[in-house]
Amino acid sequence: MKVKRELEEDLKRTVKLFKKIALVLKPPPKLTIDTWADMYRVLSTKSSAIPGKWKTDRVPFQREVMRAISDKNTEKVVMMYGAQLSKTEILMNTVGYFMDYEPSPIMFLMPTKDMAADFSTTRLNDMIQSTPQLRSKVIESSDARDTKRQKEFSGGYIVLTGTNSASELASRSIRVLLADEIDRFPRSAKKEGDPLNLAIERVKTWPNSKIVLTSTPTIKGGSRIELEYENSSKDEYYIPCPKCGEMQTLKWGNIIFEDVTHKCEKCMETSSEYEWKRNLIKGEWRSTNPDVDPHVSRGFHVSELYSPFTKWASIIRKFRAAKGDEQLMKVFVNTALGECWEEKVERFNFEEIQARAEDYGEYLNHEDGTYEEVEIPDRVNVLTAGVDVQDNRLEVEIVGWAKGEESWGIYYKVIMGNPALPYVWNELDQVLMKDYSYQNGEKIRVACACVDTGGHHTDDVYRYVKAREQLNIFGIKGSGEAGRPLISRPSKNNKGGISLFVLGVNTGKDTIMSNLKVTEPGAKYMHYPNNPKRGYDEVYFKGLTSEIKVVTFSKGQAKIEWKTIGDKRNEPLDIRNYAQAALRIANPDLDIRYSTDLLNGLRTQRISRRRKILSKGIK
């Protein structure tokens, strides 16, 4: 009996031992990126508003996207997305999956090396440190290639680089390419050619390679992500109507602003944001391009309307704030709707703009009984100026501003003479430092002026503005770089040692042309006097409307350029742009009148503060 019990105990121990051996020898579970993330990914307080264990069901439409990336038969995945849709988190989950479950050489390509380095030291490091499954994977020995932009792990590595690093793009063999914000990629990596194509060449030696391309779109017909999406399966996310169950996509045109609801395209009933988003878990991706094999290129598109992190009321507010402003509306269409902005080539008839010229009014000169024209309309609260420098003249415009950036042309003057001669600049002083009068006798002076430093008289401009910066007269330099804001922080890294502002001239011209479309007095409306003696004649209005915006293409990418029509002079448009930039630099409260007395007081205070600072520094 005793022997029998001992044999039974031995048998139990043997079975238990073999179970342990089986567990050790058992192959790892078959995982996809979404299931890996659900099992292992941990979000920290540094990178997420909802820290803790990752849950794909919070953003259910992303599950299929991650499974498409996991699918060994799918070569390319394209994501044309709006904002707040966890696009970056999908890329992070992909990195974690291939570091842990399918170790491979990975390249994470971003617009610049600086962006890549910052991403690596913040988002990537944070994911590695907060996810135990990854923390032990990164090799940190002295022999490991662990740098700001590279992490080595068992079986592979990840390099994060920018499109401005041609050598890194051309010298590595990689299995997984993750390219983020491809519409922001330059047209060429120095002289090596298209950076995305260079990176794609690196994966061709791998039979099981993976390419993931993501971006918010930009310009219709010139967007790289749009081109990739059009040549993909073009999947859209369909969800059932809360009322009738009809499967459909969320569309901006079906949003009802008044009660923040969405209308069903079949039953025409409206349902709340909560009711629609509750059905996201029941949704499905449907291809709208059956001519493309989804295994060759699987494409996904969703707008911010699907985001669990953005309320529809917030999107409506963004739309209302952008309405009437072409630049803001472009951003809204790109980021909120995840769609391309379609540029419209518009030409203004100068005669129609000139026909708006109006009488600023007259007042009785009580001293001699004559009537005089009102110099500054009473609603103007701020004056700015723009100055263009040509080889044989200066051209300057004084512009008045009121609430809502409603503007009034005050004077447009041409000062003939060689800008190398002092008298030309002395005449400019008479214009910029003059006291201009309201009907009641109150005085106002130019609050800020911008003088162009381009051309053949840069040194002369430097000398002029350097002595007058305390009067808010600044040097500017135009830049046609796409997307550059109208003004940015000034730099003193120039020969003259002045505070030089670089202007995004395309952005400024977009605003001016958008304002010219406003046909009723009020915010953004542009007023002009009907007195040709102020300089607003036919030549001026031809110059103001002398350029059109065109979209040119180079190697499949779009570039917006402003081109002059025929042989028209474009100085009036440039100078109004400079006066507009001066308003941005001064950043006044347009509800307050910046009279001569107020400006003098502000300048005295500023000089006094500078003297105190210098005095403390000397001590």
Average pLDDT rounded to a whole number, residues 9-28: 59
Q: Report pLDDT digits (tens) over 218-237.
A: 888 778 999 999 999 999 99
How far is it, in rounded angstroms, from Cα 167 to Cα 285? 39
Average pLDDT rounded to a whole number, residues 72-99: 94
Q: Report strand pairing: 284-287 vs 235-240.
A: antiparallel
How far is it, in rounded angstroms, from Cα 570 to Cα 574? 6
Residue 614, pLDDT score: 37
How far is it, in rounded angstroms, from Cα 323 to Cα 334? 14
In-domain check, residue 210: yes
Domain check: are 377 and 297 in the same one?
no
Query: Taking Cα atoms as reference points, which of 75, 168, 65 lies closest to residue 113?
Result: 168
> Poorest-confidence range of 379-383, 464-468, 535-539, 594-598?
594-598
Average pLDDT rounded to a whole number, residues 54-61: 94
Average pLDDT rounded to a whole number, residues 135-157: 74
In-domain check, residue 470: yes
In-domain check, residue 578: yes
Give the DSSP letter of residue 29: P
In-domain check, residue 572: yes
Domain check: are 225 and 362 in the same one?
no
Query: What CATH number did the domain enclosing 400 receive?
Result: 3.30.420
Average pLDDT rounded to a whole number, residues 329-355: 88
> Poorest-confidence range of 87-91, 99-103, 361-365, 499-503?
361-365
Paired tokens of 193: 């050619």
Domain check: are 295 and 373 in the same one?
no
Residue 558, pLDDT score: 60
Domain check: are 369 and 474 in the same one?
yes
Domain check: are 297 and 394 in the same one?
no
What are the phi and psi torsion angles at 136 (to 5°)?
Answer: -85, -5
Is residue 473 within 8 Å of 432, Cβ to Cβ?
yes
Q: With cut-offs at 50, 70 and 90, classify the pLDDT of residue 274.
A: very high
Q: With cut-offs at 50, 70 and 90, classify the pLDDT of residue 615.
A: very low
pLDDT at 206 over 50: yes
Q: Name, of 152-156, 387-391, 509-513, the range with top average pLDDT.
A: 387-391
Is residue 50 within 8 Å of 106, Cβ to Cβ?
no
In-domain check, residue 453: yes
How far is it, in rounded angstroms, from Cα 99 to Cα 549? 47
| Number of domains forming the structure of the chain | 2
Q: Which residues contact 127 (CB under 8 A, 6 or more apart)?
A: 41, 47, 92, 95, 96, 134
Instruction: Choose one of 281, 302, 323: the last residue of a domain.
Output: 302
Query: Taking Cα atoms as reference points, which of 415, 407, 434 lies closest to residue 529?
Result: 407
Instruction: Choose one of 280, 302, 324: the last residue of a domain.
Output: 302
Domain check: are 436 and 542 in the same one?
yes
Percentage of the chain modeled with pLDDT above 70: 87
Average pLDDT rounded to a whole number, residues 7-12: 66
> Poorest-confidence range of 65-74, 94-103, 377-386, 541-550?
541-550
How far is it, in rounded angstroms, from Cα 478 to Cα 468? 20
Q: Report pLDDT digits (tens) over 98-112.
A: 999 999 999 999 998
Query: What CATH number did the domain enclosing 297 receive?
Result: 3.40.50.300
Residue 29, pLDDT score: 62
Domain check: are 170 and 92 in the same one?
yes
Phi-psi group of 190: left, alpha or beta (phi > 0 → left; psi -120 to 50 → alpha; rest → beta): left
pTM for the structure as a whole: 0.67
Q: With cut-offs at 50, 70 and 90, classify the pLDDT of residue 268.
A: very high
In-domain check, residue 469: yes
In-domain check, residue 371: yes
pLDDT at 576 over 60: yes
In-domain check, residue 342: no
pLDDT at 556 over 60: no
Is residue 210 within 8 Å of 176, Cβ to Cβ?
yes
Per-residue b/e over 127-156, b at no fewer than 16 CB within 10 Å?
bbebbebbeebbeeeeeeeeeebebbbeeb
Domain check: are 298 and 408 in the same one?
no
Q: Tell me the torsion sign for CA atoms 448, 453, 459, 460.
A: negative
Domain check: are 202 and 53 in the same one?
yes
Residue 613, pLDDT score: 37
HSE, CB side, 13 Å, CA atoms: give it for residue 231: 8
Domain check: are 298 and 354 in the same one?
no
Domain check: are 71 and 183 in the same one?
yes
Paired tokens of 327: 């630049």
Q: What is the 3-state secondary structure (H, E, C) of 329-362?
A: HHHHHHHHCCCCECCCCCCCCHHHHHCCCECCCE
Domain check: are 396 and 296 in the same one?
no
pLDDT at 54 over 90: yes
Q: Name, of 99-103, 234-238, 370-374, 506-510, the range with top average pLDDT.
A: 234-238
User: Bigger pLDDT: 175 or 455?
Assistant: 175
Residue 610, pLDDT score: 45
Q: Where are the alpha helices (DSSP H) in 345-400?
A: 350-354
- Domain containing 298: what range? 33-234+289-302
Strands (E), 24-163: 42-43, 52-53, 76-81, 105-110, 150-153, 156-162
Is residue 353 within 8 Å of 543, Cβ to Cβ?
no
